[in-house]
Amino acid sequence: MSKAAMVALYARVSSEQQNKRGTIESQIAALRERISADGAQIVDDMCFVDAGVSGATLIRPQLERLRDCAALGAIDHLYILSPDRLARKYAHQALLMEEFTACGIQVVFLNHAIGTTPEESLLLQMQGMIAEYERAKIAERHRRGKLHGAKRGSVNVLSGAPYGYRYIRRQLDGTPARYVIELPQAATVRAIFQWVGMDRLSIGEVVRRLTESGTVTASGKPYWDRSVVWGILRNPAYMGRAAFGKTQSRDHLQVRVRAQRHSSDVPRKPHSTTRTDPQDWIEIPVPAIISEALFQSAQEQLAENRKLARQRRETVPLRLLQGLTVCGQCRYAYYAKKVSKAAAKGHQRDYAYYRCVGTDAYRFGGQRICDNLQVRTDRLDDLVWQQVVELLRHPERLKSEYERRLDMMERHETRGFDMSNLEKQRLQLEKGKSRLIDSYSDGIIDKTDFAPKMQQLKNRLEQIDQQILESRQQGAVQSELYLVINRLEEFASAVTEKLDTIDLETKRKIVLGLVKRVEIHKDEIVVVFRIDPHPGALANENPNDSDDGVKSMQHCRRSNYSHSRRAPAVSAARCQSRRAGPAPNPPTATLQCVRARPPHRSAPHRAGPARCVRLLAACACHYGSATCTGGHPAL
């Protein structure tokens, strides 16, 4: 082999095989030794290693990078320990091998020689299917073995010891695995059950007592989370009966309502875990820390606490913007909190505050993560409601704005590309890509010519795909705009007749249909409006149908306004506003910005920096970059 040849290696090991033969270090060492024996050299950037990633899926970080490099023609030889390291499923193996072959890559398996005869290809296929079968058989044997051990009462099948116990492994002399009570932690467990089962305390009060007493968790943290205490109170192991089979794994993924904070949008594993019916649990005897009577008393109190919490939620005053307010700094939600008796200082305080979750130190181990200000609920509710009323009473403003945007989109469409022409261009580029790969595989062109041409084709394909996507989305948005324009006045007239007499619940339904969120910053409040393409649903007081399939893209142009700091409350009607200078192209949004005193201030001498309330209309044009096709800046 020529030393100039580009050599790469791929190694993979799943988390359940770390301690078995063929770990990631031994794989890399064996592959490097084989590469050196073949007279080649490898650089560190060409070592693709997926550690702790299952081979049952193709979504692997290093495998994705390997395939990208292969498509660019940057690899001549690829070394892998065995076919099952490449993929566990035969279908995935065949797909990857076909892809590597099309890119002109010679794949070398250390434990299997690849031939060119039909018999050798059949052998490779059979090995892939056998590896897939072996994996399924091992998983089934593992499940059946643990199930059999649980029925025999073996503690060895449990994943680990809960708080209050210490897990003792199975000994070489045949002594079975067991739980041993940790006396200091067991005392804490007894106190938790005593507080809930006998003293009738809530989980929140238990958390406060544990934190104030300096009791540390199993991981050594000085603060406790409610979910940890709840898990302790629900675990039957503390009364001497540990449960096996409380959860089960499913192949499908649970759909996340929103991406988890500080984590990827895509789960690492292609399956989800769900809780099973308690009747299907298998009980395993372990040393008891509390009595069964105390455990059952705690369960009854938990049920009572849930009932009381449900009743409190029903009696808590409904807030107009409940569930819509979000912090502009930490992105946590704002929640409504009444003024405490200590803060009221003996005065009657009927109002509450919207408060950021990130400012609650007790939620984050005694240290707040956000310093944003709280806002009075009555003033912010009135401010947002007045803007909603203004919008409903003057629907012609929004209608004219949407007609302008629709006209702009139609003019843009006449200057744009024809959809059929784009499809033809894409087909020609795909054919050119295939011909280029064939020419490189046959040796007609060398690698120095192949790589830049392939990159040009990929870039052009990405541009064509983006143009096709924009054309399709623009057509869908145009249809929605026609519905909005034709039914906006009808919807507004049906609602504005009773704006002065409707109750809070109806107000909230209207706000949920028109307002997407309210972002609270230190120096401004941003109200993001949402326009439903089917406004009749709101008139029928069914806000649940207003958010399905709606594209909400926002824009706003800032303007300068003066205001009176002596106003006792924030109100758009009391703000003296003036239009700013001529707006650049595109024209300004119909909805205006009002600048007023911060809603959380009440006394004139305490008035702080002014807050700007930005009303953002739902922009129907498509974002392809930092600005939409109409030139409006992204939020």
> Which range among 64-68, 85-89, 96-100, 258-262 shows the weakest confidence by mean pLDDT?
258-262
pLDDT per position as a tens digit, 450-480 = 777 888 888 888 888 877 777 766 666 666 6
* Residue 582 predicted with pLDDT over 70: no
Residue 480 Cα distances to 476, 477, 532, angstroms = 6, 5, 9
Specify the higher pLDDT residue, 454 or 62.
62
**How would residue 583 be classed by pLDDT, with cut points 50, 70 and 90?**
very low
Q: What is the mean pLDDT of residues 517-542?
A: 62
**How would residue 258 be classed by pLDDT, with cut points 50, 70 and 90?**
very low
pLDDT of residue 536: 37
Specify the higher pLDDT residue, 94 or 355.
355
Residue 589 Cα distances to 17, 258, 485, 555, angstroms = 59, 29, 16, 8
pLDDT per position as a tens digit, 362-413 = 777 678 889 898 888 888 988 888 888 887 777 666 666 566 666 665 665 5
Q: Which of 11, 130, 148 is nearest to 78 (CA)?
A: 11
Whether residues 229 and 331 share a domain: the answer is no
pLDDT per position as a tens digit, 132-159 = 677 777 877 888 888 888 888 888 888 7
Query: Does 314 reside within a domain?
Result: no
Specify the higher pLDDT residue, 472 or 165.
165
C-beta of residue 295 within 8 angstroms of C-beta of residue 232: no
Specify the higher pLDDT residue, 129 or 584.
129
> Which range among 448-457, 492-501, 584-593 shows the weakest confidence by mean pLDDT?
584-593
Specify the higher pLDDT residue, 570 or 459.
459
Q: What is the mean pLDDT of residues 263-291?
A: 76
Query: Does 431 reside within a domain?
Result: yes
**How would residue 616 be classed by pLDDT, with cut points 50, 70 and 90?**
very low
Q: Which token pair is 494?
A: 């049906």
C-beta of residue 511 within 8 angstroms of C-beta of residue 520: no
* Torsion angles phi and psi, residue 567, rounded to 5: -70, 130
Specify the higher pLDDT residue, 619 or 506.
506
- In the chain, the amino acid numbered 421 is N
Q: Which token pair is 605?
A: 């001498």
* Residue 580 predicted with pLDDT over 60: no
Distance of alpha carbon 593 from alpha carbon 570, whole angstroms: 13
Tokens 């009391």 found at: 574
pLDDT of residue 517: 82
Q: Is the dihedral of CA 40, 46, 52, 56 positive or negative?
A: negative
pLDDT of residue 567: 30
User: What would you report as the CA-atom Rg of the chain, rounded to the nearest whole angstrom?
Assistant: 32
Whether residues 475 and 356 share a domain: the answer is no
Q: Which token pair is 368?
A: 């707040």
Residue 72 structural domain: 7-145
Query: Does 608 reside within a domain?
Result: yes
| 574 C-beta neighbours (distance < 10 Å), count | 15
Q: What is the mean pLDDT of residues 176-197?
A: 92
List the CATH number of the domain containing 57.
3.40.50.1390
* Residue 171 predicted with pLDDT over 90: no
Q: Which of 331, 319, 398, 407 is nearest to 616 (CA)?
A: 398
pLDDT of residue 172: 77
- In the chain, the amino acid numbered 1 is M
Query: Does 615 reside within a domain?
Result: yes
* Torsion angles phi and psi, residue 437, rounded to 5: -65, -40
C-beta of residue 619 within 8 angstroms of C-beta of residue 405: yes
Query: Does 263 reside within a domain?
Result: no
**How would residue 344 be classed by pLDDT, with cut points 50, 70 and 90?**
low
Q: Is the dihedral of CA 586, 592, 597, 598 positive or negative?
A: negative
pLDDT of residue 293: 92
Q: What is the mean pLDDT of residues 199-228?
A: 89
User: In b/e form, how buried is each residue of 375-391, taking b as 16+ CB within 10 angstroms?
Assistant: bbbbbbbbbbbbbbbeb
Distance of alpha carbon 574 from alpha carbon 567, whole angstroms: 7
Whether residues 214 and 75 share a domain: the answer is no
Q: Indicate the SS3 state at residue 117.
A: coil
C-beta of residue 387 within 8 angstroms of C-beta of residue 374: no
**How would residue 529 be classed by pLDDT, with cut points 50, 70 and 90?**
confident
- Please report which helix (H) or strand (E) contains residue 398, including its range: helix 395-415
Percent of the chain at pLDDT exceeding 70: 64
Q: Which token pair is 389?
A: 């009323």
C-beta of residue 504 within 8 angstroms of C-beta of residue 318: yes
Q: Which of 14, 272, 439, 571 is catalytic?
A: 14
Q: Which of 543, 204, 147 is nearest to 360 (CA)?
A: 204
Whether residues 292 and 332 share a domain: the answer is no
Ordered alpha helix ranges (H), 152-250: 183-197, 203-213, 226-234
Q: Which token pair is 531?
A: 């326009």
pLDDT per position as a tens digit, 319-341 = 888 888 888 888 888 888 887 65
C-beta of residue 354 within 8 angstroms of C-beta of residue 380: yes
Q: Which residues sit opposite 13 in a β-bridge? A: 51
Q: Which token pair is 627?
A: 């600005």
**How would residue 501 be classed by pLDDT, with cut points 50, 70 and 90?**
confident
Residue 634 Cα distances to 246, 471, 513, 627, 631, angstroms = 46, 19, 22, 5, 9
Distance of alpha carbon 410 from alpha carbon 46, whole angstroms: 49
Whether residues 508 and 576 share a domain: the answer is yes
Indicate the number of domains in the chain. 4
**How would residue 491 be classed by pLDDT, with cut points 50, 70 and 90?**
low
pLDDT of residue 518: 87
> Which range among 158-162, 518-522, 607-611 shows the weakest confidence by mean pLDDT?
607-611
- Look up residue 627 and give its DSSP letter: B
Distance of alpha carbon 292 from alpha carbon 302, whole angstroms: 15
C-beta of residue 447 within 8 angstroms of C-beta of residue 440: yes
Whether residues 110 and 205 share a domain: the answer is no
Whether residues 417 and 343 share a domain: the answer is no
The verdict on whether 14 is a catalytic residue reads yes
Compute the residue count for the chain: 635
Whether residues 77 and 216 share a domain: the answer is no
Percent of the chain at pLDDT exceeding 90: 14
Q: Which token pair is 537?
A: 């649903």
Whether residues 395 and 364 share a domain: the answer is no
Specify the higher pLDDT residue, 634 or 39.
39
Residue 100 Cα distances to 74, 108, 314, angstroms = 12, 11, 62
Kindly report the average pLDDT of the chain as a whole number: 72
Whether residues 412 and 538 share a domain: the answer is yes
Query: Does 264 reside within a domain?
Result: no
Query: Does 117 reside within a domain?
Result: yes
Whether residues 231 and 287 share a domain: the answer is yes
Whether residues 533 and 486 share a domain: the answer is yes
Query: Does 150 reside within a domain?
Result: no
Distance of alpha carbon 266 from alpha carbon 64, whole angstroms: 15
pLDDT of residue 629: 39
pLDDT per position as a tens digit, 93-124 = 888 888 898 888 999 988 766 656 676 667 66
pLDDT of residue 139: 78
- CA 352 to mean position of chain CA atoms: 31
Distance of alpha carbon 324 from alpha carbon 520, whole angstroms: 10
Tokens 């026609």 found at: 482
